[in-house]
Chain A
């Protein structure tokens, strides 16, 4: 179903920004997500701008400020990076939890963070919906077993990325490049709820693309737990990313972010509070219960509430001495 388009190999970040300013231009990383959308006919870019042709954009390096990961770094390379794995085990785990080895060998971190939702109504050209600029959500009265229990409406997608919740927990900054130059922002600010913008989960100005992500150097503990129906290849039913500092038997700093349950990486302040005021062992119950506070299940997805709790509980328990 793919419509004709012009393909560009960008040589520099500046050139990419210029090319992406063309009408109907879209950035291409590994193509895992974009090609799926194009083949289904729900996206028809006139220009496809390849970012992987930019030398050095796939670099993973440790600097004074922390780890800087170029947008076209492969998920496989993040998962397998020995030094990164030591410093940021949660991020390596999140990258390793994505899809299948083949997809991780092709997929990039930039593409993973800017991937579009998996809602089957959204992904099919046969259905119109608010996310595609139409009206309403066919999943509300339809098949919604995998959709959002938190933060939904008027669209109920869940954010599909495994790396995004981990990077929010790690307080990462996203570096964007556009025709007007570069800017950076906390990754949490990159994502919007559908109540603010139903059309897209993130905001990029015309011509802008993700150039890199930086994780601060502050020493931290981190982990990522992903629950799936099928372990060999699945998006998260519920996932939990935790990053923080541990002294003795308790956390002194903690960020708890859920994946797969809300339209954006879902940070839970009350789960964090419960994690901070208890020993790790005693925090499992109250933190996992409070993480799903305010959950509003749809007709078929109430089962995701115990799944989300289980993800949080497993993530917290992973910090207990074995």
Chain B
């Protein structure tokens, strides 16, 4: 380890820290680093391919002799299969294979069987021809019904539907009661949020092909090619190297594609059975039913503050349902954002006969922040404090303090008091704020290889995947920076499990985990080029630099990159590096805050978000264009959650009613507000690149900020998402 002194912090607030970084790695970038490529606005490298249709997604994969699979899914919320008959289906034209998947359905959409046929229509017909004798059982899909002692047991037997809630903690309860009693002001509000689905434009899907040597190749719409590889290897009892998973381009995952999905196993099983490649892409209805979701929540928040506006107590009792899965906990923001001497949280996951939850962009945080920041605004109101001032009094993150200051300026916070009347007759405007908090520092283990050929061609190989965030482009930029080239001179190979290992793309971990490995690999390969061409430049390799497409000696003499690479003996140089542990640098985690301005139509209850000002930090910003794109996407998805999206189930049948994009509303062009992004470029000194993730932070504060803006506009708090016209009319006393 080498001791290095780095300048860390953000503009106007820098300091020096000493870090231990691995000897083999290039010196970490810090605030003083002058970079030529990194930090510049650069279009996505694959952008042209995507808009011209040249980019191939999983659904576009077409193989010789490929069959199409369809799945028979349970039409019942809960049922068992007494018997199942494939004879009729197998006799239908074009049908090549049929498999049984399960004998019991725990929710509408649970897969029971599947077929593969020459065409999609044949496969659909064959699915309908499968003869099933169903034994329909009692179900429960309603959150509160499922908590009752006599509710049908979702997992059978005596398993309670409610789980995870710890036993009474009397001491903690008493501490809270006493703190709240002593508080100058308190609030007690129950917030509720719906189940929403990921609704990725590219559905889940796989194309599976068995090779003649018994190995398996799978094109999969996944955020984690190695997770799919390992899952398939386990499922078929194959060594991992016998399974190859590919993912070139991605049409959205948002957490729902982190692990191996059932569709991958189904496609591979059918392919083995049919002795032909099989494609299985889920339909929109299947996506809504079985593609994962964000669990619902009911969060009762009690909070207190003293006369000075310091929090005295934060208390959260919550429950929610992720269907047949857990994962509804949303206490993290309340536990981590503010300083508070007394805290208590209690949470229970409630099992219901509905599609299972999956990680969804900032799991728990979106729901939790909506409740916490709603309670904070109400408490600020009771204390007669400005919402930002109140927040600052209880938040010791200096980054976020600075971000509030900048955001307030851009959003016009000082004119807030006059805003409600600014919309004209029949309209009310409001401005709300909310904080973000997330990790996003990445972790060790990601690997990258840099191959430099004698003709000067550069290739970075990394088994990560670009889930639409621009990973491919930032990898090229990092390597180009290190090699003195332009980003489009670097070829990036990713999305293939035969490449060096990298993690699944989740938790805003990809950029911070991958870029240090890429930089270290590029630096090592560059060293090899320097060694090869040192003689030509009459210097030793240590004194050379790579800059503007040239290799430059200390005395200023230079040769072109191509000339330098021509000195490589053999075909190429190849260096691999593994991402090290984070150093103890400036600060862990990202801050951020957002301001939303809304206009409410007092006659129709319609809410229009006029503007969002988003202030975020993500360490070193590799490419502002891509970072802003992530933030735009987070805001639009958050707005959609705040105002439109909800899974609607029919209690009596346990079936979902809005399984399309007409009834399941997602914000469209007319709903998208003016978005102003303010990025804080932070030198965090925690890796050799100092990059942090920005995938999740921008969705976290949006619903909270919008809800706070609506409350500011109409003077009534709507604590139940989505904020639809019926709820606004009810709050206005018009229903």
At the interface, yes or no: A141 with Cβ under 8 Å from chain B? yes
A6 at the interface (CB under 8 A from B): no
Q: List the one stretch of A52-60, A70-78, A167-175, A301-309 in contact with chain B.
A: A301-309
Q: Does A293 contact B (CB under 8 A)?
A: no
Closest Cβ of chain B: how far from A128's Cβ, in Å?
11
Whether A303 pairs with B729 at a CB distance below 8 angstroms is yes
> Within residues 297 to 322 of chain A, which ones have a CB less than 8 A from any CB in chain B?
302-303, 306-307, 310, 313-314
CB distance from A320 to the nearest CB of B (A): 12
The answer to whether B91 has its CB under 8 Å from any CB of chain A is: no
User: In whole angstroms, how far apart are the Cα atoms of A190 and B108 in the complex?
Assistant: 39
- Residues of A with C-beta under 8 A to B662: 118, 233, 235
Interface size class of B (residues with CB under 8 A): 20 to 34
Contact yes or no, A142 B650, CB < 8 A: yes
Instruction: Name the B residues within 8 Å of A120 (CB-CB).
Output: 648, 657-658, 663
Determine whether A249 belongs to the interface, using a CB cutoff of 8 Å to chain B. Answer: no
Residues of A contacting B671 in the complex (Cβ-Cβ under 8 angstroms): 230-232
Could you say which of A118, A142, A230, A307 contacts B652, with CB atoms under 8 Å apart?
A142
Q: Which residue of A lies closest to B127 (CB)?
A: A1
User: With A124-B655, A229-B724, A303-B725 known to touch, is A143 a contact of B735 (CB < 8 Å)?
Assistant: no
Interface size of A as a range: 20 to 34
Q: From the candidates A143, A145, A227, A235, name the one contacting B650 in the complex (CB within 8 A).
A: A143
B730 and chain A: residue at smallest CB distance? A303
A121 CA / B653 CA spacing, docked (Å): 11
Across-interface contacts of B659 in A (CB, < 8 A): 124
A233 to B665, CA, bound (A): 8
Question: How far does the alpha carbon of A2 sit from the alpha carbon of B119 in the complex, in Å?
Answer: 13
Of chain B, the residue at the smallest CB distance from A302 is B735
Q: Are the C-beta atoms of A310 and B603 separated by less than 8 Å?
A: yes
Most chain A CB within 10 A, of B648, B665, B726, is at B726
Bound CA–CA A232/B665 (angstroms): 10
A306 to B604 CA separation, bound complex (whole angstroms): 7
Q: Is A126 an interface residue (CB 8 A)?
A: yes
B386 within 8 A of A: no
Q: Which of B124, B648, B667 lies in contact with A1, CB distance below 8 A?
A: B124
Chain B CB within 8 A of A189 CB = no
A156 to chain B, nearest CB (A): 14
Chain A: which residue is nearest B603 at the CB level? A310
- Most chain A beta-carbon contacts within 10 A, residue among B605, B648, B657, B729: B657
CB-CB under 8 A for A229 and B725, given A127-B653, A306-B735: yes
Closest residue of B by beta carbon distance from A228: B606
Query: Are A141 and B606 in touch, CB under 8 angstroms?
Result: no
Q: Is the CB of A229 within 8 A of B653?
A: no
Asked whether A114 is an interface residue with its Cβ less than 8 Å from the other chain, the reply is no
Residue A138 is within 8 A (CB to CB) of chain B in the complex? yes
The answer to whether A227 and B606 touch across the interface, beta carbons within 8 angstroms, is yes
A310–B604 touching, CB < 8 Å = yes
Return B88 CB to nearest CB of chain A, in Å.
16
Nearest-CB distance from A264 to chain B (Å)?
A: 21
The B649-678 residues at the A interface (CB cut-off 8 A) are: 650-653, 655, 657-659, 662-663, 665, 667-671
Nearest B residue (CB) for A120:
B657
Q: Is B15 an interface residue (CB 8 A)?
A: no
B729 x A306 contact (CB < 8 A) = yes
Known: A1-B128, A313-B603. A303 touches B665 (CB 8 A): no
Cβ of A237 under 8 Å from chain B: yes
**Is the Cβ of B670 less than 8 Å from the Cβ of A231?**
yes
In the assembled complex, B75 has its CB within 8 A of some CB on chain A: yes
Interface string of A221-253 (1 = CB under 8 A from B): 000000101111111010000000000000000
Complex: chain B residue closest to A311, CB-CB? B604
Q: Cα distance A124–B658 when bound, in Å?
A: 9
Kindly provide the distance from the CB of B181 to the nearest chain A CB, expressed in whole angstroms: 39
Interface string of A112-145 (1 = CB under 8 A from B): 0000001011001011000000000010011101
Shortest Cβ distance from B244 into chain A, in angstroms? 34
Rounded to whole Å, the gap between the CB of B141 and the closest CB of chain A is 12
A177 CB → nearest B CB, Å: 31
**B651–A142 contact, CB under 8 A?**
yes
In angstroms, how far is the closest chain B Cβ from the Cβ of A68?
A: 31
In chain A, positions 270-304 with a C-beta closer than 8 Å to chain B are 302-303
**CA A302 – CA B648 in complex, angstroms?**
18
Rounded to whole Å, the gap between the CB of B656 and the closest CB of chain A is 9
A306→B665 contact, CB < 8 A: no
* A310 partner residues in chain B, CB cutoff 8 A: 603-604
Nearest-neighbor residue (CB-CB) of A232 within chain B: B668
Chain A residue, CB-CB nearest to B604: A310
Give bound CA distance, A1 to B605, whole Å: 39
Is A233 a contact of B668 with CB atoms below 8 Å? yes
Partner of B644, one of A126, A143, A227, A230: A230
Minimum CB–CB distance for B320 against chain A, Å:
20
- Chain A nearest CB from B211 CB (Å) reads 34
Contact B657 A143 (CB under 8 A): yes
> Does the CB pair B657–A121 fall under 8 Å?
yes
Residue pair B725, A124 in contact (C-beta under 8 Å): no
- Contact residues in A for B648 (Cβ distance below 8 Å): 120, 143
Q: Bound complex: CA of A134 vs CA of B735, how far in Å? A: 33
Which B-chain residue is minimally distant from A141 (CB atoms)? B652
- A138 proximity list for chain B (CB < 8 A): 650, 652-653
Q: Which residues of B contact A230 (CB under 8 A)?
A: 644, 665, 667-668, 670-671
Digitize B97-116: 1 where CB-to-A-CB distance is under 8 Å, 0 elsewhere: 00000000000100000000
CA distance A307 to B727 in the complex (A): 12
* Minimal beta-carbon separation of A295 from chain B (angstroms): 13
Partner of B121, one of A2, A100, A143: A2
The smallest beta-carbon distance between A13 and chain B, in angstroms, is 31
Contact flags B595-618 to A (C-beta < 8 A → 1, else 0): 000000001111000000000000
Whether B604 contacts A124 by the Cβ 8 Å rule is no
Q: Is B41 an interface residue (CB 8 A)?
A: no
> Nearest residue in A to B726 (C-beta to C-beta)?
A303
- Does B734 lie at the interface of the complex (its beta carbon under 8 Å from any beta carbon of A)? yes
Do the beta carbons of B667 and A232 come within 8 Å of each other? yes
0/1 per residue, B72-100, Cβ < 8 Å to A? 00010000000000000000000000000
A118 CB contacts on chain B under 8 angstroms: 662-663
Contacts of B124 on A, CB cut-off 8 Å?
A: 1-2
For window 91-107 of A, CB contacts with B under 8 Å fall at 100
Within A193-244, the residues touching B (CB, 8 Å) are 227, 229-235, 237
Is A126 a contact of B604 with CB atoms below 8 Å? Answer: no
A306 to B603, CA, bound (A): 8
Query: What residues of chain B lie closer than 8 Å to A143, measured between beta carbons?
Result: 648, 650, 657
Nearest CB of A to B8, in Å: 44
Q: Name B732's closest neighbour in chain A (CB-CB).
A: A306
A1 to B725 Cα, complex, angstroms: 35
Contact of A126 among B605, B653, B725, B734 (CB under 8 A): B653
A36 shortest CB reach to chain B, Å: 8
CA–CA, A145 and B729, complex, Å: 14
A3 CB, nearest partner CB in chain B, Å: 8
Find the residue from A124, A231, A302 having the highest chain B CB count within 10 A.
Answer: A124
Complex A-B, nearest 4 residue pairs according to Cβ-Cβ distance, in ascending order: A232-B668, A303-B726, A120-B657, A231-B670
* Interface residue ranges, B against A (CB under 8 Å): 75, 108, 121, 124, 128, 603-606, 644, 648, 650-653, 655, 657-659, 662-663, 665, 667-671, 724-726, 729-730, 734-735
A to B CB contacts below 8 Å, 29 in the list: A2-B121, A100-B668, A120-B657, A120-B663, A121-B650, A126-B653, A142-B651, A143-B648, A143-B650, A145-B726, A227-B604, A229-B644, A229-B724, A229-B725, A230-B668, A231-B668, A232-B668, A232-B669, A234-B665, A235-B662, A237-B725, A303-B605, A303-B726, A303-B729, A303-B730, A306-B734, A307-B604, A307-B729, A310-B604
- A contact residues vs B (CB 8 Å cutoff): 1-2, 100, 118, 120-121, 124, 126-127, 138, 141-143, 145, 227, 229-235, 237, 302-303, 306-307, 310, 313-314
For the complex with contacts A232-B669, A234-B665, A306-B604, 11 further pairs of A-B residues with Cβ separation under 8 Å are: A2-B124, A126-B108, A127-B653, A230-B665, A230-B667, A231-B670, A237-B725, A303-B729, A303-B730, A306-B605, A310-B604
